[in-house]
Amino acid sequence: AQRVTQPEKLLSVFKGAPVELKCNYSYSGSPELFWYVQYSRQRLQLLLRHISRESIKGFTADLNKGETSFHLKKPFAQEEDSAMYYCALSGLQGAQKLVFGQGTRLTINP
């Protein structure tokens, strides 16, 4: 079964502190992993995907196949990072429908 688990519904950190949003997945095969973000009153948008190995807005995420994890990290949080973050997976081929986790609301305190 395809499943994405984000164990923290809420995460609150102070500005300048490191941030780590956890994501674990189960998938039989090689999935493609994503982080989507939804800022207040905006639509869901792609933040980053594992195949591109990019750093977007200071965020990085490494796919750990052994631990089936794809945690999102940022060394120094900024207030504008406050948002809802969703981890998602899809198959590399075929339908490519997204399976989302339940999301983590990140709040950066000044």
Binding site for other proteins (CB under 8 A): 4, 6, 9, 32, 43-46, 49, 51, 86, 88, 90, 92-93, 95-103
- Residue 10 to residues 43, 52, 90, 106, Cα–Cα distance (Å): 20, 27, 24, 6
Residues with Cβ within 8 Å of 10's Cβ and at least 6 positions away in sequence, in order, are 104, 105, 107
Shortest approach of other proteins to residue 3 CB, angstroms?
Answer: 11
> What letter does residue 72 receive in the DSSP assignment?
E
Shortest distance (Å) from residue 15 CB to other proteins = 26
C-beta of 48: minimal distance to other proteins in Å?
10
Q: Is 6 or 108 the residue whose CB approaches other proteins more closely?
A: 6
